[in-house]
């Protein structure tokens, strides 16, 4: 999630200039930008394909059916209601009666690709179902599908750039199939999905438009597969957490579908806390405060601290107190901060991050994400990762102020994209003759609409999640984050959750889980097992879930 909105709409263009120019495909500036969607008639999507598989996970041997296919959703709820199960206008409907001569001028639809994994011989009412999606916005779900809790797993453990192909895809002993059926959904215009009809991008590429499309998809999916009475969970990563807040509220209010749980990984709800854009929004210093613990965790991992603490988490508690105390106070003073106070804070900042005191003073105690990635290992001409600061790579321009690329994205993206393309065709028997789009270029042509609930002032969906929790007071929320994630910092995510506008009585419905990994916590095997065990326990103990 790279080119994201800031607090003020007028800052969007300026902020884009300060972000890394090369990141993994989930980002808006992915190196793999597909051509713009053409307004031409598309052939009907191929039929769904069902295959069988087996996996040992969670101490169980699980036989499952894998279904790869397309669900078509309408551009509005009214249009969607006129589509049959095949995605075509029902005979006699207004859409059918008013169909234009040219298919490209028809009402917009999104053909959304998905892969579903159903445990064999399980009763729907006893079997939870979890819907997964990545973010971007504009990303497919190749990352969660191939890396996290599905039946297959891309081997990426370590913090180094992977060798080139052949890559290694293995059975996932940490698949969540031991407790839930799984559905991996590609966003509109990504994967094998396509946008069709007039102004289709406008109908689906936006905060509210995207959330509504996923709500329609889930409603259609549970109708198609008779899962109305199954416990239901959503699992979003990165901008997928933004989507989850919007989606949870829409499902309740528009579809009368209560979720049992919302599982958030690498959360961003309030974009004014985004550290990459902090320097473009002077006077708002909260992003610097919330990023400092991640800077400190990074220095601890790379052993760049003047005094190396033995354990990470107690050290981070100390840093958090400094960040919200003396550091926050110093930033709040602005030009009233004395030279002596500034020197004192810079020296403490140095103790916690290893950054030179002189650099911190020159930066006025404010170091944004791109600057930290570029400067942290300047002495070795290395740039550290944005999505996972454990990773390092050669600095492209030693004279640049900020990072020019993300070494973590460069290290693993090829493996994920290659193995998804191989797996879906070889094992799932789907996609021959088609192109899989890891991402859609929702940014290059300015397609993405950041207006939310009629407000274009700044994107903050915290109230959506809060409304969903208040409307459904049994809704449970699970927050997962990596200590080494500089794209969506763990302390920032915690801050967002603890400032949701909810009654104190609902705070107990939120669970917090942290990992010694980055944005994609599952790329580290130890953390993948922790993620499985914690999510499995969350599902088992959520109201209505099978026990």
Residue 383 shares a structural domain with residue 436: no
Residue 253 shares a structural domain with residue 307: no
Residue 157's pLDDT is: 77
Residue 511 shares a structural domain with residue 534: yes
Per-residue pLDDT band at 244 (split at 50, 70, 90)? very high
Residue 7 within any structural domain of the chain: no
Residue 191 within any structural domain of the chain: yes
Residue 40 within any structural domain of the chain: no
Residue 195 shares a structural domain with residue 335: no
- Of 109, 12, 113, 15, whose CA–CA distance to 448 is shortest? 12
Residue 63 shares a structural domain with residue 152: yes
Tokens for 506, please give them.
């609902």
Per-residue pLDDT band at 7 (split at 50, 70, 90)? very low
d(CA 513, CA 504): 20
The fraction of the chain above a pLDDT of 90, given in percent, is: 82
d(CA 375, CA 401): 8
Per-residue pLDDT band at 34 (split at 50, 70, 90)? very low
Residue 57 shares a structural domain with residue 106: yes
Per-residue pLDDT band at 466 (split at 50, 70, 90)? very high
Helices (H), 259-311: 286-301
Helix 239-255 to helix 462-471 angle (10° resolution) is 40
Residue 301 shares a structural domain with residue 223: no
Tens-place pLDDT, residues 511-529: 999 999 999 999 999 999 9
Domain end residue (candidates: 367, 388, 408): 408
d(CA 259, CA 244): 11
Contacts of residue 459, Cβ cutoff 8 Å, sequence gap at least 6: 4, 5, 207, 242, 270, 271, 450, 452
Contact call for residues 260 and 156 (beta carbons, < 8 A) = no
**Residue 33, pLDDT above cutoff 80:** no
Domain end residue (candidates: 373, 408, 443): 408
CA torsion, points 248, 253, 254, 256, in degrees to nearest 10?
90
Residue 99 shares a structural domain with residue 160: yes
What's the Cα-to-Cα distance from 60 to each of 63, 130, 211, 277, 334, rounded to whole Å? 10, 19, 35, 46, 58
Helix (H, G, I), strand (E, B) or coil at 529: helix
Residue 36 within any structural domain of the chain: no
Query: Is the overall model pTM greater than 0.75, yes or no?
Result: yes
Q: What is the CATH number of the domain that holds 165?
A: 3.40.50.1820
Residue 28 within any structural domain of the chain: no
Residue 14 within any structural domain of the chain: no
Per-residue pLDDT band at 9 (split at 50, 70, 90)? very low
**Residue 35, pLDDT above cutoff 50:** no
Tens-place pLDDT, residues 438-454: 999 898 766 899 999 88
Residue 391 shares a structural domain with residue 532: no
Residue 59 within any structural domain of the chain: yes
Tell me whether strands 109-119 and 60-74 are parallel, antiparallel or unpaired.
antiparallel
Domain end residue (candidates: 408, 427, 451): 408
Residue 402 within any structural domain of the chain: yes
What's the chain's average pLDDT? 90
- Of 260, 325, 267, whose CA–CA distance to 292 is shortest? 325
Query: Cα angle at 515 between 511 and 517, to 5 degrees?
Result: 145
Tokens for 388, please give them.
């996972």
Structural domain boundaries enclosing 314? 279-408
Tens-place pLDDT, residues 189-231: 999 999 999 999 999 999 999 999 999 999 999 999 999 999 9
d(CA 129, CA 233): 6
Residue 335 shares a structural domain with residue 249: no
- Of 57, 48, 70, whose CA–CA distance to 180 is shortest? 57
- Of 324, 249, 341, 245, whose CA–CA distance to 286 is shortest? 324
Report the number of distinct structural domains present in the chain.
Answer: 2
Residue 300 shares a structural domain with residue 205: no
Residue 402 shares a structural domain with residue 429: no
């Amino acid at each position: 999630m790279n080119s994201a909105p800031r607090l003020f709409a007028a800052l969007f263009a300026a902020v884009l200039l300060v972000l890394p120019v090369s990141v993994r495909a989930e980002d808006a500036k992915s190196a793999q930008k597909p051509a713009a969607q053409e307004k031409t008639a598309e052939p009907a999507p191929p039929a769904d394909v069902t295959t069988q598989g087996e996996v040992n996970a969670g101490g169980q041997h699980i036989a499952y059916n894998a279904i790869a296919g397309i669900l078509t959703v309408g551009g509005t709820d009214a249009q969607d209601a006129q589509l049959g199960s095949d995605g075509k206008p029902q005979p006699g409907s207004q859409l059918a009666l008013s169909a234009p001569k040219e298919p490209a001028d028809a009402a917009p639809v999104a053909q959304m690709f998905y892969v579903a994994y159903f445990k064999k011989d399980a009763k729907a009412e006893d079997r939870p179902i979890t819907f997964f999606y990545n973010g971007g916005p504009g990303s497919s779900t190749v990352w969660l599908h191939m890396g996290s809790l599905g039946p297959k797993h891309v081997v990426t453990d370590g913090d180094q750039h992977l060798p080139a192909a052949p890559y290694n895809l293995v059975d996932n002993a940490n698949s969540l199939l031991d407790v839930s059926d799984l559905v991996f959904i590609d966003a509109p215009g990504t994967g094998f999905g396509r946008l069709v009809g007039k102004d289709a991008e406008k109908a689906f590429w936006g905060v509210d438009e995207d959330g509504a499309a996923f709500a329609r998809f889930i409603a259609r999916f549970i109708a198609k597969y008779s899962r109305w009475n199954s416990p239901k969970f959503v699992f979003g990563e990165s901008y997928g957490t933004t989507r989850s807040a919007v989606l949870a509220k829409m499902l309740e209010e528009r579809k009368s579908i209560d979720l049992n749980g919302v599982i958030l990984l690498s959360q961003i709800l309030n974009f004014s806390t985004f550290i990459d854009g902090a320097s473009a929004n002077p006077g708002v210093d909260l992003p610097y405060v919330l990023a400092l613990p991640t800077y400190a965790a990074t220095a601890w991992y790379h052993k760049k601290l003047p005094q190396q603490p033995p354990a990470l988490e107690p050290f981070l508690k100390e840093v958090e107190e400094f960040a919200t105390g003396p550091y926050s106070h110093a930033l709040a003073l602005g030009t009233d901060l004395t030279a002596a106070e500034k020197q004192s804070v810079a020296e403490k900042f140095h103790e916690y991050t290893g950054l030179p005191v002189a650099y911190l003073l020159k930066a006025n105690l404010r170091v944004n994400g791109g600057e930290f990635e570029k400067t942290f290992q300047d002495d070795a001409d290395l740039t550290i990762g944005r999505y996972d600061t454990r990773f390092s790579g050669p600095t492209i321009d030693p004279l640049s102020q900020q990072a020019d690329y993300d070494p973590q994205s460069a290290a693993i993206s090829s493996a994920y994209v290659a193995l998804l393309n191989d797996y879906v065709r070889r094992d799932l028997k789907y996609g021959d003759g088609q192109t899989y789009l890891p991402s859609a270029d929702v940014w290059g042509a300015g397609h993405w609409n950041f207006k939310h609930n009629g407000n274009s002032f700044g994107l903050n969906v915290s109230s959506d999640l809060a409304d969903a929790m208040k409307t459904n007071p049994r809704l449970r929320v699970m927050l997962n984050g990596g200590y080494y994630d500089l794209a969506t910092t763990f302390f920032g995510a915690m801050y967002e959750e603890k400032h949701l506008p909810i009654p104190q009585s609902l705070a107990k419905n939120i669970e917090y889980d942290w990992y010694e990994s980055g944005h994609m916590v599952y790329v580290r095997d130890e953390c993948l097992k922790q993620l499985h065990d914690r999510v499995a326990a969350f599902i088992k103990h959520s109201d209505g879930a099978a026990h």
